[in-house]
Structure 1
Amino acid sequence: MSADRTFNSEQIARIHLAACYRLCALNQWDDLIYTHISAAIPGEPDHYLINPFGMQFDEITASSLLKVNVQGELLPGQSGMVNPSGFAIHGAIHRARADAQCVMHLHNTAGIAVSAQRDGLLPLSQHAIRFMGHLGYHDYEGLALTESEGVRLVTNLGNHPAMLLRNHGTLTVGRTIAEAYVVMATLIKACEIQVAALSSPNLIMPGPRIIEKAAADLHDFGVEEGVLEWPALLRKLDRIDPSYKE
């Protein structure tokens, strides 16, 4: 966004995170007022932006985002509420992963469906193959995320960019908001394809060597994702409703 040059780093982060929320709403990935996307504030260690609890994703604007510390506590001079159990997931990952500048956690239908399947994500599509060897799994432990569960969650995520929370939802991390969003879009697409494909008893699965090679090619040595896609997505959002910037 060319207008970014007139904003400071926090304002830029606010605009891009608000855009991420709006794009999720457009794709119907939201779940009433639940689930969260958090982003680190550049130059402010242990300070993050997150949605106010009670707002839907399509209502989020840059100015409505709340500024919190790593415990999910509001910084002074703000009003609003953060879902404490929701930020427990985000805080644990932000503390453990310096590269996790953005953490997305969603309750999309296809992602939950695949997370509930014993074998998890299968290499049934190119979208899914991208995650072979690069996807974590975390077993469902109930609503309350304790500190000890946070440790297990971080361990299960490891260095992966994405994870399926069993019976719960999807999670991605990114070095940028754009990367977390594009990885999430790819993961959800892979899950949607799997749910559709499993309606047939006659599935074609690529061979192990093809899967291994394609996974390596698609991972591309961990090159940053979202660099090309994100500006196009922002242009789309600007055409539909630019109020996310407010």
Structure 2
Amino acid sequence: MTYEEMKARTELASLYRIFNYLGWTELIYNHITLRIPGPEKHVLINPFGLSYSEVTAENLVKIDLEGNIIGESFWKYNLAGYTTHSVLHKNVPDAVCVMHTHTTAGIAVACLEQGLSYSNFYSAQLYNKVAYHNFEGITIYEDEGSRLIESIAGKPAIILRNHGLMGWGSTAAKAFSTLWILNRACEIQCQSLAMGKALEISEEVLKKCTADSFHFNPTYGEGQDVLDALTRIVNKLDPSYQSYGRID
């Protein structure tokens, strides 16, 4: 196993523990995938049957872009999960890390005809960054892939109608920043709707907020500082995900 793969395994395992810490879990379902650096374009995914709190660097499953398991693995993976992720890994150059959640707020907004409302501090940072894709059922059919890519249209996140949220990026930090802001925007929107009609933000201000967001600013690590802080928290809680020892 290469150093690059061990590092990727540790990074992805930490992401699963972070999601678990944040409550972004759905029993044994949903996925975060990460491409291993190298010409083979292999991808790591969680073993199907384990909770996020049980994922470790060692038990992550390595697969190729066609979904074939590489090497030996005691665990299988969820085909319904990887079908969508594989489309992004194959067709979106920046999709090195892909994240998918079924948070209550995320699905609630995905079920709204209006979708995401540009009426709060968080959604204002995502202006013209969120795509939509109509619900076609459980994602196990490859022919949906071309329609998904068409729906994405170059944006870094998507609301899967009636389903949930997805975010991706050229690094895990970028993917996480995008998904965190999107999910937080959905949480605030759900609370706002419970109280009445939300006050929409002007397009001029939306453009300014999106351009000024620290989460996407290289000066602030494009989300890496946030991810590092969360990694320190999960390391204090339970560092057992680092099956190969700490990789710096």
TM-score between the two structures when normalised by the length of structure 1: 0.92
TM-score between the two structures when normalised by the length of structure 2: 0.91
TM-superposed deviation, 1:44? 4.0
Alignment equivalent of 1:158, drawn from 153, 156, 180: 153
Alignment equivalent of 2:172, drawn from 163, 170, 177: 177
Q: Distance in 2 between matches of 1:220 and 1:196?
A: 23
SS of the equivalent of 1:105 reads strand
Alignment equivalent of 1:45, drawn from 40, 43, 47: 40
TM-superposed deviation, 1:86? 1.1
Which position in structure 1 is the counterpart of 2:127?
132
Q: How does 1:69-88 map to 2 (within 5 A)?
A: 69-88=64-83
- Indicate yes or no: 2:228 matched with 1:231: yes
Q: Distance in 2 between matches of 1:182 and 1:80?
A: 29
Which position in structure 2 is the counterpart of 1:213?
208
TM-superposed deviation, 1:212? 2.5
TM-superposed deviation, 1:124? 1.5
Percent sequence identity over aligned pairs:
37
Task: Mark the CA change 1:67 to 1:140 in structure 2 (over 3 Å): closer, same or farther.
Answer: same
Could you tell me whether the CA contact under 8 Å between 2:98 and 2:167 is conserved in 1?
Answer: yes
Q: Distance in 2 between matches of 1:231 and 1:25?
A: 16
Gaps of 5+ in 2: 244-248
Could you tell me whether the CA contact under 8 Å between 2:55 and 2:241 is conserved in 1?
Answer: yes
TM-superposed deviation, 1:174? 1.3
Q: Which amino acid letter does the alignment assign opposite residue 116 of structure 2? A: L
- Indicate yes or no: 2:185 matched with 1:190: yes
Total equivalences in the alignment:
240
Could you tell me whether the CA contact under 8 Å between 1:100 and 1:174 is conserved in 2?
Answer: yes
TM-superposed deviation, 1:45? 2.7
Q: Which amino acid letter does the alignment assign opposite residue 212 of structure 2? A: D
TM-superposed deviation, 1:184? 1.3
Moved more, 183-192 or 214-223: 214-223
Task: Mark the CA change 1:221 to 1:171 in structure 2 (over 3 Å): closer, same or farther.
Answer: closer
Q: Distance in 1 between matches of 2:100 and 2:67?
A: 15
Q: Which amino acid letter does the alignment assign opposite residue 80 of structure 1? A: W
SS of the equivalent of 1:228 reads helix
Gaps of 5+ in 1: 1-6
Give 4+ residue runs of structure 1 displaced > 4 Å after superposition. 219-224
Once the two structures are superposed, residues 129-150 of structure 1 have per-residue CA deviations (whole angstroms, 9 ceiling, x without a partner) of 1111010101100014322211
Could you tell me whether the CA contact under 8 Å between 1:71 and 1:91 is conserved in 2?
Answer: yes
Which position in structure 2 is the counterpart of 1:100?
95
Task: Mark the CA change 1:27 to 1:245 in structure 2 (over 3 Å): closer, same or farther.
Answer: same
Q: Distance in 2 between matches of 1:35 and 1:184?
A: 14
Which position in structure 2 is the counterpart of 1:4?
none
Q: Distance in 1 between matches of 2:16 and 2:25?
A: 8
Q: Distance in 1 between matches of 2:223 and 2:214?
A: 13
Could you tell me whether the CA contact under 8 Å between 2:84 and 2:139 is conserved in 1?
Answer: no
SS of the equivalent of 1:225 reads helix
Q: Which amino acid letter does the alignment assign opposite residue 166 of structure 2? A: L
SS of the equivalent of 1:19 reads helix
SS of the equivalent of 1:239 reads helix
TM-superposed deviation, 1:84? 1.1
Could you tell me whether the CA contact under 8 Å between 1:72 and 1:82 is conserved in 2?
Answer: no
Q: Which amino acid letter does the alignment assign opposite residue 129 of structure 2? A: H
SS of the equivalent of 2:63 reads strand
- Indicate yes or no: 2:30 matched with 1:35: yes
Task: Mark the CA change 1:222 to 1:100 in structure 2 (over 3 Å): closer, same or farther.
Answer: farther
SS of the equivalent of 1:204 reads coil
Could you tell me whether the CA contact under 8 Å between 1:66 and 1:74 is conserved in 2?
Answer: yes
Query: RMSD of aligned C-alpha atoms?
Result: 1.8
- Indicate yes or no: 2:21 matched with 1:21: no
